Structure 1
Amino acid sequence: MLHDRLLKAIDKLGFTQPTAVQLAALPPALEGKDLIVGAETGSGKTLAFVIPMLQHFLDNPSPNTGTRGLILTPTRELAEQVCQSVKDLATFTRVTTMTVCGGTGFKEQAAEMRKNPEILVATPGRLMEHLERETLDFGDLEFLVLDEADRMLDMGFRDEVLAITEICRKDRQSMVFSATLTHPGVHDLLPRVLNEPEQLLLNTPQNAQANIQQQIILADDDKHKERLVEWLLANETYDKVIIFTNTRVKAQWLAKSLQRQNRRSGVLHGEMSQDERKHVMGLMRSGKINILVATDVAARGLDIQGLDMVINFDMARKGDEHLHRVGRTGRQDKPGLAICLIEHTEWNLMSSIERYLRIKFERRTLKGVEANYKGPKKLKASGKAAGTKKKKSDGKDGKKSAAKPEGKQRLRDRKQVGKRRTTAAPKPPADLADGFMPLKKKRSDSDS
């Protein structure tokens, strides 16, 4: 049974019944077991690991210790979101929490951590800096959670995650939660983080996000994609929308283009400071802007109410990233729309993602802004070119027979055309090989 203070906070947040991932993960987590959980984005994973942590702290108060819980996330935005969830659930408790991310002053963070918050939500890079400078100690750590572990590995944080894990106390409870657990490095990482874990796989990439309508629209180039985006924003019904690009430069260019059209839009990418990123996300969540142009920094874990459309200006580079992008919409069983703009260089990538997810994107054309590109041309039949026929000749039996192709002519044969051919002299017998006739043997007295 959950603590009364937790139940009071859950009631205040308006949660009436647990999600599928919470139903599966909460019982073993509350028993203290290590877990590895794969569940689709937007399914309530955060509460599934925060509730057991807070329940343990309330059942076992230890006010004079250091950090007792650590949650690692790949991005600052996700760290801020998870930290806010912890604060909301801990409203009626004395459990304190803070984020440890880049983009804010190191000294200020170190001063805040000296107050011994019980829970830290951190990104691996900045946390490792604190550990190296010995401004942090995990000797009292009781809980370790890796949220979106595959993304942390993609971002190159493998060494940092392993180093942090080694510093943590051995007799701890550890949990790994992610929308996808297919990263090849994750299975190498798990034995070093978890101890006899219980595995809960609530979804696979192939069956996730069934309530999201996924479409593709063919495009000629970026300028044509810009016109397609304008058409979609003017004609589709939506509350909020995220437009994903693969590069920071393209995100800034597209955001400025939309702002020139007086659209309430903002931009989010990894080169922005933490304050700038928090400001933009605040504007998006409050509804002061309703269009966010972003790189994949916004693809993981972000929960924005009313986000009912995602546009991939650039196709995601792999299937798992596509899942996380479109997973910003259609959350908690609500319908969503995801549209990918595809030019000729992206067709093969789009097809490979279709095969990986075992789905077929709906093909769509926007009247008045159609692309000249119509998809790949059909491949010709193998062998001779289509439309050609083999020459046939009449055989002795009157039946048609295929003419034999002429053999390849050698260069030295072509040089001899028109020249008089000479016949080589016959090779002499073996006994004339030296050019002399053998001498007759003289008769001797012994021969007679």
Structure 2
Amino acid sequence: MFDELSLHERLMKAIDALGFTKPTEVQATALPPALEGKDLMVSAETGSGKTLAFLLPILQRCVEVSAPRSGTRGLILTPTRELAEQVTTMCEKLAAFTRVTALSVCGGENYDNQAAKIRKNPEIIVGTPGRIKEHLERRTLDFDDLEFLVLDEADRMLDMGFREEVLFVTDACRPERQSMLFSATLTHRGVGDILDRVLRDPETIQLSTAQTELTHIRQQVILADDAKLKERQLEWLLKNEQYDKAIVFTNYRALSESLNSKLQTKGLRVGVLHGELSQPERTRVLNLLREGRINILITTDVAARGLDIEGIDLVVNFDLARSGDEHVHRVGRTGRSGREGLAISLIAPNEWNLKASIERYLRVKFESRTLKGIEGSYRGPKKLKSNGKAAGTRKKKDSKKAGDKPKEKKRARDKKQIGKRRAEPAAPTPISNDGFAPLKKK
């Protein structure tokens, strides 16, 4: 129970108001060492309650020890604006009965407006690495008084190419701080090159791996010949599967827009989300999904991490994820908190090997499925014989008989010279002692 953690009564009041009765596994495991001030490296499944596990220690410290003249006390870095907004909202709910304030600082918003809000000195800032770095460089933000640093979905930030920005920000933080790294697929391999610069003697808590993350989610694959057939299969699935809300993932922004337009003409309640949209547009689309005014979201991997939207029963990979970890995060949008979910991947011929590598990485075998009437002719690669050669290939017969001498090959130009007398080679030109050929007499 939360009351066993000796949390401040104002935080307990907020926890009760939110309807949280007992800590989840990751909260029960991570909160005690976090409240003691230890650095942590935590891996736990999607939807397990990691956000509370790092917010409560920060809020507990801010409530217990007042520091009105200090600057930012807690910094939480996230890979996407959506996740930053979500963390900020949860922080505000937990701090509802305190005077602790939080601010989201992300790209896509007016810089001067953000700087004005930062001057009001919020205790906790949640933001994306690029915009935080920009504020540090322009001296509208400093972390000289920082007490807590959290990297949420740390491996994703590095995958997205934010390594330089993350290290710039962490190096600008006060050295005497508590640091915590959280993710659903956090590994030393994924973040090993920054651990020594961020954490000090961390305690590792690994409650899940990529291989155990999706045990309660049913995964299927449907083969397709090309993108045109995929579109027909996607339309059928969205019209016939049973779901409250669905997310469709693509690898390209232009494709997301195209599918959004086509599905809307089919009478489906669809919205689109990708990195080129402004922050107000992205927030509006997510609110439409949460409110049920649309029930299908077409998106890129910008929605693969951290988004917690109730009622997502179906995930469709129109394009297969580029890695096993990213597949885990996409599929993890359904089946939240141990509930059952369904994930379907549409596989074109050029994606077969990628599918096989993801299956090997996750140590699972996806269920094969066909849609009657819209099956493709592609059935996977040709099966291999035991000798490793493709089935149906034959060894060429050896036409040579024992004792036969190899025939001498003759070139066509040699045949033309048969019977003709070869010209004698010209005598070499005599060379003088000085190394030059003598001039010919006229």
TM-score by length of structure 1 reads 0.87
Which of 306, 312, 316 does residue 301 from structure 1 map onto? 306
Q: Percent of counterpart pairs with the same letter?
A: 62
Contact 1:219 1:343 in 2 (8 A): yes
Which of 59, 70, 74 does residue 54 from structure 1 map onto? 59
Aligned residues: 411
Determine if the alignment matches structure 1 residue 344 to structure 2 residue 349: yes
Determine if the alignment matches structure 1 residue 157 to structure 2 residue 162: yes
- Residue 134 and residue 228 in structure 1: after superposition, are their counterparts in 2 closer, same or farther (change >3 A)? same
Which residue number in structure 2 is paired with residue 186 of structure 1? 191
Which of 246, 254, 261 does residue 256 from structure 1 map onto? 261
- Residue 382 and residue 275 in structure 1: after superposition, are their counterparts in 2 closer, same or farther (change >3 A)? closer
Which of 92, 98, 102 does residue 97 from structure 2 map onto? 92
Determine if the alignment matches structure 1 residue 20 to structure 2 residue 25: yes
Which residue number in structure 2 is paired with residue 40 of structure 1? 45
Shift in Å at residue 405 of structure 1?
Answer: 9.6
Deviations 1:92-126 (A, max 9, x none): 11100010001110000000000000000000001
Determine if the alignment matches structure 1 residue 244 to structure 2 residue 249: yes
Which residue number in structure 2 is paired with residue 265 of structure 1? 270
Determine if the alignment matches structure 1 residue 110 to structure 2 residue 115: yes
Compare 226-235 and 30-39 and name the one that shifted more. 226-235
Determine if the alignment matches structure 1 residue 366 to structure 2 residue 371: yes
Which of 56, 68, 73 does residue 78 from structure 2 map onto? 73
Q: Secondary structure at the match of 1:110?
A: helix
Whole-angstrom distance in 1 between the partners of 2:92 and 2:284 = 19
Which residue number in structure 1 is paired with residue 150 of structure 2? 145
Shift in Å at residue 16 of structure 1?
Answer: 1.4
Which of 109, 126, 129 does residue 124 from structure 1 map onto? 129
Letter in 2 for 1:258: L
Shift in Å at residue 181 of structure 1?
Answer: 2.1
- Residue 250 and residue 391 in structure 1: after superposition, are their counterparts in 2 closer, same or farther (change >3 A)? closer
Which residue number in structure 1 is paired with residue 8 of structure 2? 3
- Residue 237 and residue 411 in structure 1: after superposition, are their counterparts in 2 closer, same or farther (change >3 A)? same
Deviations 1:44-80 (A, max 9, x none): 1111000111111111111221110000000000000
Deviations 1:330-352 (A, max 9, x none): 11011000000001011111011
Which residue number in structure 2 is paired with residue 227 of structure 1? 232
Q: Secondary structure at the match of 1:130?
A: helix
Contact 1:66 1:138 in 2 (8 A): yes
TM-score by length of structure 2 reads 0.88
Determine if the alignment matches structure 1 residue 329 to structure 2 residue 334: yes
Deviations 1:340-396 (A, max 9, x none): 00010111110110001110000001111111111111235457974558679xxxx
* Structure 2: gaps (5+ residues): 1-5, 420-442
Shift in Å at residue 175 of structure 1?
Answer: 0.2
Which residue number in structure 1 is paired with residue 179 of structure 2? 174
Q: Secondary structure at the match of 2:345?
A: strand
Q: Secondary structure at the match of 2:344?
A: strand
Whole-angstrom distance in 2 between the partners of 1:258 and 1:27 = 48
Whole-angstrom distance in 1 between the partners of 2:301 and 2:403 = 58
Whole-angstrom distance in 1 between the partners of 2:69 and 2:199 = 27
Shift in Å at residue 407 of structure 1?
Answer: 7.7
Shift in Å at residue 236 of structure 1?
Answer: 0.8
Shift in Å at residue 184 of structure 1?
Answer: 3.9
Shift in Å at residue 403 of structure 1?
Answer: 6.1
Whole-angstrom distance in 2 between the partners of 1:124 and 1:406 = 76
Compare 27-36 and 52-61 and name the one that shifted more. 52-61
Deviations 1:13-48 (A, max 9, x none): 111121111111011001000000111111111110
Contact 1:315 1:346 in 2 (8 A): yes
Letter in 1 for 2:12: L
Alignment root-mean-square deviation, CA? 2.3
Contact 1:255 1:267 in 2 (8 A): yes
* Structure 1: gaps (5+ residues): 393-401, 421-448
Q: Secondary structure at the match of 1:284?
A: helix
Whole-angstrom distance in 2 between the partners of 1:407 and 1:267 = 73
Contact 1:150 1:183 in 2 (8 A): no
Letter in 1 for 2:328: L
Determine if the alignment matches structure 1 residue 205 to structure 2 residue 197: no
Whole-angstrom distance in 1 between the partners of 2:346 and 2:16 = 42
